[in-house]
Amino acid sequence: MDVKQQMSPGRLVACCPPQILRTASSFGALCFSLAFGIAGCERRHNVEPGEPDYPALNPSPKIEIHLRVIAPPSIPTRFLVVYGAQADGGPIDSPSTCSYGTGLGNIHWFGVAENVSLRPEGSNQSGEIVIDKYVPGRCNYQFGSSWFFAPNDDLQQDLFHFDAGTHPPRARIDLWCVTAPLGHQIAKQCSPLWVWRTTIPEIITATIIDQIVAAGGDKGPPIFVGAGTQMITVQFHDLNAADGGRQILGVDHPKDSSLSTPPSWASSR
């Protein structure tokens, strides 16, 4: 989370030479404005291992979510989670700060970002996301956010939010992916169903939307989960595949669902 923080008088003194502070107020104002970008006036790097406020592992975590990933070989995926400080900790130029600057007044909380480790689970992959992985500590570290990267590693999108609400034990997310030019969509991209309904409506028609909704594959990210959530199933569908990615796997039904008939863009291949 980014926050804006005004410069305190103490920081101004630390950043500006005394001889300037003793001159006319106009020079003091100039120093005030320049101090935001002067190296050494504020902490300029994230918290690092070995520092006192680097997050410590929770010896007895209690909130763990099983992540199940269903994706064809044509769609490489990566998942990332972020844990961030929530406490102020004091001015950014003080030893007690829980934040750091990147210049021009931009301030960021301390935090750590980690890839979710996935292992084979049959023909799919799975891993665990530990919500309370770290002890809050002085900087009050909390689970911050979750992201996925697909089908290219430079495409980052929000996956889910964790809150204090009541949620079902199982949740699912479906991403529909263009892995090669499809209609007038040229770039590779994974998106919720509604994006393709508006982007390539000549291919993803209202009838196809209704079929996918009936099969349970219309729930896109981000979703909200809570302490009662035990598993999240994320399925990536390749719209360029021979079957149009129509199978909806891992649903909470006795049998996995699929569209009643192959989508028109798939059956016409």
Predicted confidence (pLDDT) per residue in 233-249, tens digit = 999 999 999 888 878 87
Full-prediction pTM beyond 0.85? no
Per-residue confidence (pLDDT) for residue 103, from 0 to 100: 80
Residue 138 placed within a domain: yes
Per-residue confidence (pLDDT) for residue 269, from 0 to 100: 43
Give φ, ψ of 28 to 5 degrees: -65, -40
Task: List the structure tokens of 160.
Answer: 């889910």
Per-residue confidence (pLDDT) for residue 126, from 0 to 100: 97
Per-residue confidence (pLDDT) for residue 125, from 0 to 100: 96
What distances in angstroms separate CA 260 from CA 67, 88, 214, 268, one per listed residue? 28, 54, 9, 16
Residue 236 placed within a domain: yes
Per-residue confidence (pLDDT) for residue 258, from 0 to 100: 57
The residue behind tokens 């570290």 is 141
C-alpha 190/C-alpha 75 separation (Å) is: 9
Residue 37 placed within a domain: no
pLDDT < 70 regions, the chain: 1-41, 251-269
Residue 135 placed within a domain: yes
Residue 221 placed within a domain: yes
Count other Cβ atoms within 10 Å, centred on residue 248: 23
Residue 44 placed within a domain: no
Residue 234 placed within a domain: yes
C-alpha 147/C-alpha 144 separation (Å) is: 10
Length of the chain, in residues: 269
168: Cβ contacts below 8 Å, ≥ 6 apart: 228, 229
List alpha helices for the chain, DSSP H.
9-15, 18-21, 25-34, 193-199, 206-215, 264-267
Q: Domain span at residue 198?
A: 54-92+111-267
Task: Please choose, from the candidates 235, 243, 160, 143, the residue with its C-alpha nearest in 3D space to the C-alpha of residue 190.
Answer: 235
Residue 8 placed within a domain: no
Per-residue confidence (pLDDT) for residue 246, from 0 to 100: 77
The amino acid at 73? P
Write out the H or E segment, with its range, that includes residue 225.
strand 223-225
Task: List the structure tokens of 161.
Answer: 């939010």
Question: For the chain, what is the domain count?
Answer: 1
